[in-house]
Amino acid sequence: MTIATALEALYATALATQIRENEFAFPWIESLHVLAITLVVGSIAILDLRLLGWASRDRAVTRLSAEVLPVTWGAFGVAVLSGALLFASNAPKYLDNRYFQAKLVLLALAGLNMLVFQFLLARNLATWDAAGATPRAARLAAALSLVLWASVIACGRWIGFTMLAGY
């Protein structure tokens, strides 16, 4: 089975048809998707700005990340699920869209950045609890995170305009 036939099969499923044709399914799933992505980006930005030393300087990094990251990951799960449903509604057309392709690449880079931060840079997080003690590599990861997530949002918006769906 090639990718093309797999996408056609996905397109023909009852679920995809339902999302595509039901008047309310797409807007509701999209609303949930936007809510989730704003919470992902907003919450990770709180941590990024703290790492850069631009906000929440009086809050220990360990404490702040314990508060923020559950929100980020929870919202990220909802964003992926709702995004998968939106994608399923018209998979061949989305995969053909340049901005959708760019969004996938940017998401992968943002994910990679998070993994590098979590498993390489943040292993001794407690040692840089104080503001101003953030290592240069962690500050770079934070700046990269802000730029990547903002670009993900921009691509998402441009998909709407180039797919001629609701915008």
Partner 1 sequence: MAGFSEHPLRSLAAWLADTALSRTLQTVDWLVPAIQTAHILAVAVVISSVLMLSLAVFGLHGREQPLSRSVARFAPAIGVGLPVLLVTGALMIAAEPDRALPNPAFQLKMAMLVGAALLTWLYARSVRGTPATGPARPLVVRLAAGTSLVLWVAVLVAGRWIAYTLSR
Which listed residue (38, 92, 115, 126) binds partner 1 by CB under 8 A?
Answer: 38
Q: Is 157 in the site for partner 1 (CB under 8 A)?
A: yes
Alpha carbon separation from 50 to 71, 93, 141 (Å, rounded):
16, 39, 12
Count how many Cα atoms sit within 13 Å of the Cα of residue 155 in the half-sphere of its side chain: 19
Q: Is 163 in the site for partner 1 (CB under 8 A)?
A: no
Q: What are phi and psi of 73, to 5 degrees?
A: -70, -40
Segment near partner 1 (CB under 8 A); pick from 6-14, 65-73, 84-92, 105-113:
65-73
Q: Is 129 in the site for partner 1 (CB under 8 A)?
A: no
Of the pair 71, 109, the CB lying nearest partner 1 is at 71
Alpha carbon separation from 88 to 14, 43, 83, 113 (Å, rounded):
10, 27, 9, 27
Q: What is the DSSP letter of 35?
A: H
Q: Is 54 in the site for partner 1 (CB under 8 A)?
A: no
What would the two tokens of residue 139 be?
């500050």
Please report, as ranges, the residues that interact with partner 1 according to CB under 8 A. 27, 30-31, 34-35, 37-39, 41-43, 45-46, 55-56, 58-59, 67-68, 71, 150, 153-154, 157-158, 160-161, 166-167
